[in-house]
Amino acid sequence: YTLLALSYTLMQFLGGMLSDRFGRKWLIALPSFAFPPLYFLAGNSSHWFTLIIFLIMANSLSALQLPSFYSMIAESVPKNKRGIAYSGFELFVILGITIGPAIGMMLIPRVEIRYLFYFTSFVTFLCAIARILWLKETHHFRTKTNKFDSLKNLFNKKMLLIVLALSSLFLLFNLTTHGPFISLYANEVMNLDKSKINLLFALGGLAAVIYSLWGRENH
């Protein structure tokens, strides 16, 4: 779990630099075509080590994409609509996090895990096709900047305080809700099986969706 979290985190800075250099669309679309074979191979893995390798590769590519997603949203809407745009994006992310465990709860007792990976591979292929066809480039005005000045402006005192605050917040999340500890506790202490643990996460996601909708209305 730690390796998966690191792979998703460490590649985002590189993803931001590549996005500014080559544009948003291609940093989103091209890595998407690597997901189908990676998830297919993960489903065929016979050892946890090879499974982790394929998932780390998928997480790393996903991390490369994330800065481009956020940048594309910011560049696609007026400044006064960015808050609503981001909340809409996060709403659909939460819906996916909610619906996924709910579907998993029903499928796990009936379907082998490898077939769930195959299904994920197929869905990611459809996503890749949709992204290459329908995403429009938003980063049109690319100008050369002094890298030293850019880094100096990025790591000023105000930005460092923001980074410290967000790092502390995400550390708290990873020690509680985003970490493996809830699943381990539910299984080892509460004796819940996999389908019930998926239900637990689905209910948590449902609460997040309701709160997100309330937040949009009060934005």
In tens digits, the chain (219 residues) has pLDDT values of: 677 777 777 788 888 889 988 889 999 999 999 999 999 999 999 898 999 999 999 999 998 999 999 899 989 888 888 878 887 887 788 777 778 777 877 887 888 889 999 999 999 999 999 999 999 998 865 555 555 555 666 667 777 787 788 777 777 776 666 667 777 777 777 887 777 777 777 676 666 666 666 665 555
Question: For the whole prediction, is pTM greater than 0.85?
Answer: no
**Which residues have CB under 8 Å from 159's CB, separation 6+?**
none
Burial 33-64 (b: 16+ CB within 10 A, else e): bbbbebbbbbbebeeeeebbbbbbbbbbbbbb
At 58, list the tokens. Answer: 């998928």
**Which residues have CB under 8 Å from 35's CB, separation 6+?**
58, 61, 62, 121, 124, 125, 127, 128
Residue 104 · residue 55 · CB < 8 Å? no
Q: At what angle do helices 82-107 and 48-76 cross, to 10 degrees?
A: 150
Domains belonging to the chain, first-starting first, are: 2-141+180-217 (1.20.1250.20)
